[in-house]
Amino acid sequence: MKITIIIPCYNELDTILKIVDKIKRQKLLKQIILVDDFSTDGSRELIKKKLINKIDKIIFHKKNFGKGQCIISAKKFVKGDIVLIQDADLEYSPSDYKKLIKPIINKKAQVVYGSRVLNKERYKSNNFTSTFRIFANHILTIISNFINSQNLTDAHTCYKVFDAKIFMKIKLKEKGFNFCPEITSKISKLKIQILEIPIKYRGRTYKKGKKIKFKDGIDAIKTILKYGLINNV
What's the pLDDT score for residue 233? 56
Indicate the pLDDT class of residue 209, thresholds 50, 70 and 90: very low
Between 4 and 119, the higher pLDDT residue = 4
Where are the chain's structural domains?
A: 3-228
What is residue 201's DSSP assignment?
B
Sheet bearing 57-60, strands edge to edge: 57-60, 30-36, 3-9, 82-85, 160-163, 111-115, 195-198
What's the pLDDT score for residue 131? 66
Among the listed residues 110, 75, 107, 63, the one whose alpha carbon sits nearest the alpha carbon of residue 4: 75
Rounded percentage of the chain residues whose pLDDT exceeds 70? 88
Indicate the pLDDT class of residue 230, thresholds 50, 70 and 90: confident
Between 69 and 137, the higher pLDDT residue = 69
What's the pLDDT score for residue 106? 98
Indicate the pLDDT class of residue 135, thresholds 50, 70 and 90: confident
CA distance 125 to 127: 5
Pick the CATH number of 3-228 from 3.90.550.10, 3.10.20.30, 3.30.420.40, 3.40.50.300: 3.90.550.10
* pTM of the entire predicted model: 0.91
The 10s digit of each residue's pLDDT in 75-116 is: 999 999 999 999 999 999 999 999 999 999 999 999 999 999
Q: How many CB atoms lie within 10 A of CB 214?
A: 10
Indicate the pLDDT class of residue 228, thresholds 50, 70 and 90: confident
The 10s digit of each residue's pLDDT in 158-199 is: 999 999 999 999 999 999 999 999 999 999 999 999 999 999
CA distance 193 to 107: 13
